[in-house]
Amino acid sequence: MVVVEGTTHDTTATGVEWRAGATHWGRWCDVFEIRDLKIQRCYIYLDPDYAGADTERYPWLRGEAGHNAS
């Protein structure tokens, strides 16, 4: 197994900027299963909500009291 972590930054088509470490979004992780020097499987972990707009399921994105934003 090989695990790779990374960060991204950019701006959405609607003008919302994200930068990993400065916003909640922009971090990713890939996990590779390697056998006989060949990739057998690749798992990609990424939150596609770069704008933080999914506040119905994740209330801490609204900044509500009592929710930890970290």
Q: What is the pLDDT of residue 66?
A: 47
Burial of 60 (0-12, 13-18, 19+ CB in 10 A): middle
- Answer yes or no: is 68 within a domain: no
The answer to whether residue 53 is domain-embedded is yes
What would the two tokens of residue 33 be?
């299963």
Check: CB of residue 50 under 8 Å from CB of residue 25: yes
State pLDDT tens for residues 10-24.
998 989 898 888 877
- Whether residue 67 lies inside any domain: the answer is no
Q: Domains in the chain: how many in total?
A: 1
Residue 15 DSSP code: S
Residue 40 has pLDDT above 60, yes or no: yes
19 located within any domain: yes
Lowest mean pLDDT segment, chosen from 18-22, 30-34, 62-66: 62-66
Domain that holds residue 39: 2-62
* Segment 26-51 mean pLDDT: 93
26 neighbors 7 (Cβ within 8 angstroms) = yes
- Domain assignment of residue 42, yes or no: yes
For residue 19, the tally of other CB atoms under 10 A from its CB is: 13
Answer yes or no: is 57 within a domain.
Answer: yes
6 part of a folded domain: yes
